[in-house]
């Protein structure tokens, strides 16, 4: 009764076939169960929840298909409080049922920060500090003070604001800045083709203020770039500290700023060449 004798028995092969059949049946049951558990092939398109409040989304019974989770909130003065401004996965994504949908909504209350102490800092230090706290720079007002470009006072809506005061993120801070003991003139920076936020920042770092703003293609600031300034750079006279610069904007979608910049550079070179020629002639 050896091993090879057992292999020659009919019962061995019958039991082997039964074991193989049971194995296939068990594997089939496992695959069917996994398919049902994971809802294989059963997907849903993620709707666009942006602009809707969480309550209105729940009333539409979307919670039967998705697990809605409010992940974060940000304050916005314009958008409806409690409305969705960001979502993940993005609208149009294909997901399984009960997938987590992470929402960012508009906060009911504005985010606040403590007003820093900018007094006696240089203007550049103050600008960096305000930017790091998501505070805006308003008007630069130059006043009599021995230290040029030193911050004399910090103001909100014509009222001095003390360091440590709780203020809203995004608040505009006007700065009173020292003139110094000697008269100083500054050139106007080249703002052409810059977006509004970058143009205003460049003006402040040049010790200047923005004057009137004109939008030649509507008030859409997302595509607006600087088309023209008054005074003009490279041609007009120097400005005093705190002087205003008027800005005209055009949409980058309807205007070729690359060729426009090239033409401005060429015109500037021609003007400088004419100036040099006149100087040489006068000296002769």
* pLDDT at 54 > cutoff 70: yes
Q: What percentage of the chain carries pLDDT values higher than 70?
A: 83
Residue with tokens 């997907």: 43
Packing angle, helices 196-205 and 123-132, rounded to 10: 150
* pLDDT the model gives residue 5: 55
* Per-residue pLDDT tens over the stretch 220-259: 778 899 999 999 886 667 899 999 999 999 999 889 998 9
Question: Among the residues of the chain, which ranges form H helices?
Answer: 3-7, 10-38, 54-59, 123-132, 196-205, 257-283
* SS3 of residue 275 by DSSP: helix
Residue 2 lies in a domain: no
In the predicted model, is pLDDT for residue 23 greater than 70?
yes
Query: Which tens digits make up the pLDDT trace of 73-95?
Result: 887 777 888 899 999 998 988 88
- Rounded Cα–Cα distance for residues 259 and 156 (Å): 41
Query: What was the pLDDT predicted at 235?
Result: 62
> Taking a C-beta distance cutoff of 8 angstroms, is the pair 67, 54 a contact?
no
Kindly report which listed range (2-6, 167-171, 213-217) carries the lowest average pLDDT score.
2-6
Domain CATH number, residue 89: 3.30.10.20
Domain span at residue 123 reads 110-182
Q: Residues 211, 265: one domain? A: yes
Q: Which two tokens stand for residue 172?
A: 């505009």
User: What are the Cα distances from residue 247, in Å, to 52, 183, 213, 239?
Assistant: 36, 26, 5, 15
Structure confidence at residue 228 (pLDDT): 93
- The mean predicted confidence, pLDDT, of the chain is 85
% of residues, the chain, pLDDT over 90: 48
Spacing of C-alpha 97 from chain mean position: 32
Pick the more confident residue, 276 or 104: 104
Beta strands 244-251; 209-215: pairing state:
parallel
pLDDT digit string, tens, across residues 24-47: 787 777 766 665 555 555 788 899
pLDDT band of residue 63 (cuts 50, 70, 90) is: confident
For residue 279, pLDDT beyond 80: no
pLDDT for residue 274: 57
For residue 275, pLDDT over 70 is answered with no
Tell me if 31 is assigned to some domain: yes
pLDDT at 138 over 90: yes
Q: Are residues 89 and 115 part of one domain? A: no
Q: Are residues 160 and 204 in the same domain?
A: no
Which range, of 116-120, 137-141, 199-203, 258-262, averages the lowest pLDDT?
Answer: 258-262
Question: Domain check: are 177 and 202 in the same one?
Answer: no
Co-location of 116 and 205 in the same domain: no
* Pair 162, 79 in one domain: no
179 band by pLDDT with thresholds 50, 70 and 90: very high
pLDDT band at 14 (very low <50, low <70, confident <90, very high): confident
Tally of domains within the chain: 4
């Amino acid at each position: 009764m050896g091993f090879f004798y057992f292999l020659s028995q009919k019962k061995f092969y019958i039991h082997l076939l039964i074991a193989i059949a049971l194995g296939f049946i068990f594997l089939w049951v496992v695959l069917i169960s996994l398919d049902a558990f994971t809802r294989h092939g059963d997907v849903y398109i993620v709707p666009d929840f942006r602009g809707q409040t969480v309550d209105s989304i729940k009333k539409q019974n979307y919670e039967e298909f998705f697990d809605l989770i409010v992940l974060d909130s940000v304050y916005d003065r314009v958008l409806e409080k409690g409305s969705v401004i960001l979502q993940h996965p993005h609208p149009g994504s294909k997901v399984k049922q009960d997938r987590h949908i992470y929402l960012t909504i508009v906060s009911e209350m504005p985010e606040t920060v403590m007003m820093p102490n900018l007094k006696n800092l240089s203007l550049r230090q103050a600008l960096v500090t305000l930017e790091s706290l998501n505070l805006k720079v308003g008007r630069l007002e130059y006043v009599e003070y021995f230290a040029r470009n030193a911050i004399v006072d910090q103001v909100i809506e014509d009222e001095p604001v003390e360091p440590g005061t709780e203020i809203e993120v995004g608040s505009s801070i006007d700065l009173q800045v020292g003139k110094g003991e000697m008269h100083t003139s500054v050139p106007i920076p080249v703002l052409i083709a810059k977006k509004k936020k970058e143009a205003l920042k460049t003006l402040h770092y040049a010790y200047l203020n923005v004057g009137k703003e004109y939008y030649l293609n509507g008030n859409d600031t997302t595509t607006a770039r600087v088309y023209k300034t008054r005074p003009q750079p490279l041609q007009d006279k120097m400005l005093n500290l705190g002087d205003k610069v008027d800005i005209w904007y055009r949409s980058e979608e309807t205007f070729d700023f690359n060729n426009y910049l090239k033409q401005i550079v060429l015109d500037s070179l021609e003007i400088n060449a004419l100036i040099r020629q006149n100087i040489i002639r006068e000296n002769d």
